[in-house]
Amino acid sequence: MKILGLIGSPRMGGNTEKLVNAILDGAAEKDVEVKVYHLAGMDLKPCKGCMSCRLEGKCIIEDDMQELYGEILSADAIVIGSPIYMWEITTLTKTVIDRLIALTRWQPCARPGFPSLLNVKTRLVLAYTYGNPDPNNFNQYFKYMEGLFSFLGFDVQKSIWVSGTIGPDDILHQSEIFEDARVIGKKLYLLSNSEHT
């Protein structure tokens, strides 16, 4: 089993990274390959909207997203973490999501759609942190994000979020969330591992 962690916070070692790592820890068994990417340290350019991926079969922008495409397509499960800035995910995270259009194909036929190149069993967990103390402040947005990733072809398992995280270690004062995160990771492992046995 291969599980991929994508951390979309510009703050290294902060709340989002701690949350993503707790999920990955829950999934980390002997037969699991875990790979983590800090998007802030990568060369990721915004989508041009050129739709060349429709013609060429791949994105024509030569940057680190080319490596991520391979990792995403080969992963059994993915954990994407982002803090909430200005009521939405970070620019880093949004850039990756926009570029995922290259993993879909326009199908102009009697039933038009965007079939995905993803493994239909690629499971996804979304993890968020934000400073507002209200734990229900962004529920509608999180549901929207689940719908977006489902449209892209992911099997969305769960969203987890932690409010009241302004300072880089504020999540440590909510230690119960780490057990919840590890349980989510363990379920990811059990679901994916059951398909390989």
Could you give the domains of the chain? 2-195 (3.40.50.360)
Residue 191: predicted pLDDT = 83
The model's pTM is 0.92
Angle at 47 between CA 120 and CA 57, to 5 degrees: 50
Residue 109: predicted pLDDT = 52
Mean pLDDT by 10 residues, the chain (197 residues): 96 97 94 96 96 86 97 95 97 97 69 58 95 97 96 93 96 96 94 69
Residue 126: predicted pLDDT = 98
Residue 151: predicted pLDDT = 87
d(CA 152, CA 77) in angstroms, rounded, equals: 14
Residue 117: predicted pLDDT = 67
Residue 110: predicted pLDDT = 45
Residue 90: closest CA among 145, 155, 23, 167: 145
